[in-house]
Amino acid sequence: MPDADRQAADRAALTAELAQARRIVVFTGAGVSTESGVPDFRSPGGVWSRMKPIYFQEFVNDEDKRREAWNRVFSGAAKWTGARPNDGHTAVARLVAQGRASAVITQNVDNLHQESGIPEDKVIELHGNAHYARCLSCGLRHEFDEFRDGFLDRGEIPTCRACGGLVKSATISFGQAMPQGPMDRAEAATLACDLFLVLGSSLVVFPAAGFPMLAKRNGARLVIVNREPTDQDAYADLVLHDEIGPVMREAVGL
């Protein structure tokens, strides 16, 4: 088949998969947000090619690393904040609003699913959120604004207003344990779906990348939309190597 015909056939097949599903779980990775200008993590030009990750233990043990981490927060160095949702996010929000998708499991930390209108309780964040902070001791949520002036004007490294513990951006760092609550919710959602739809993830970062196979083994259909091939394409019922925004806009009829 010529490429254009193949692409059209794949897009039609995606529309059919979505139409036939009764309970969809959407799983998203950096590829959804690169179309909003949020850099991905691992590719050339991605976040980790521009700055070295600060490991969790370094943050906890080393004041200089904490200062560097907070510098990154307030300089917006990672560009994880300030972007707007694109058609991919909007299409997923439509599936949730229509009751066709029960949950969105995301590896992203950019908050764009919530900003696209999906209720917070339907977004399961496996790697946390870059838009606020949490106390590492008691878990209390803090907003960045509480700390901005103290840090930028007086060099005060944020601590918890309740317990005095260390406060860190609510992302899950390298070396930090996966958040148990979201992992449990993601597993439950995965086991309850009949279509597991991967959007923009290369499916190489575990344990997150284990959910598609869990769904598949449990009898769900598996559909992958990603610009590049993934390690799990061979297990999928349908694979599209394509842009997410245009594909999803067409598939849900935006």
Q: Pick from 8, 19, 162, 204: which binds Zn ion (CB under 5 A)?
A: 162
Tally Cβ neighbours within 10 Å of residue 134.
20
Closest to Zn ion by CB, 136 vs 205, is 136
Binding flags for Zn ion, 48-67, as an x/- string (CB under 5 A)? --------------------
Reference 117, options 132, 141, 98, 139; nearest CA is: 98
Candidates 43-51, 154-162, 176-184, 211-219: pick the segment binding Zn ion (CB under 5 A): 154-162
134 and 142 Cβ atoms separated by less than 8 Å:
yes
109 and 80 Cβ atoms separated by less than 8 Å:
yes
Residue 48 has which token pair?
Answer: 């980790």
How many angstroms separate the Cα of 182 from the Cα of each of 81, 122, 234? Answer: 21, 11, 27
Q: Pick from 117, 165, 179, 210: which binds Zn ion (CB under 5 A)?
A: 165
101 and 190 Cβ atoms separated by less than 8 Å:
no
Provide, rounded to whole angstroms, the least separation between the CB of residue 53 and Zn ion.
Answer: 24
Provide, rounded to whole angstroms, the least separation between the CB of residue 133 and Zn ion.
Answer: 11
Provide, rounded to whole angstroms, the least separation between the CB of residue 163 and Zn ion.
Answer: 3
Closest to Zn ion by CB, 119 vs 139, is 139
Provide, rounded to whole angstroms, the least separation between the CB of residue 139 and Zn ion.
Answer: 7
Three-state secondary structure call for residue 226: coil
Binding flags for Zn ion, 167-186, as an x/- string (CB under 5 A)? --------------------
Binding flags for Zn ion, 119-148, as an x/- string (CB under 5 A)? ----------------x-xx-x--------
Active site residues per annotation:
127
User: What's the distance, CA 169 to chain centroid?
Assistant: 15
Beta bridge partners of 222: 196
Residue 244 has which token pair?
Answer: 């997410």
Provide, rounded to whole angstroms, the least separation between the CB of residue 160 and Zn ion.
Answer: 3
Closest to Zn ion by CB, 8 vs 138, is 138
Closest to Zn ion by CB, 81 vs 159, is 159
Q: Pick from 14, 160, 170, 252: which binds Zn ion (CB under 5 A)?
A: 160
Burial of 140 (0-12, 13-18, 19+ CB in 10 A): middle
Q: Which residue has the tokens 């193949």?
A: 6
Residue 37 has which token pair?
Answer: 């200008």
Residues within the interface to Zn ion (CB under 5 A): 135, 137-138, 140, 160, 162-163, 165
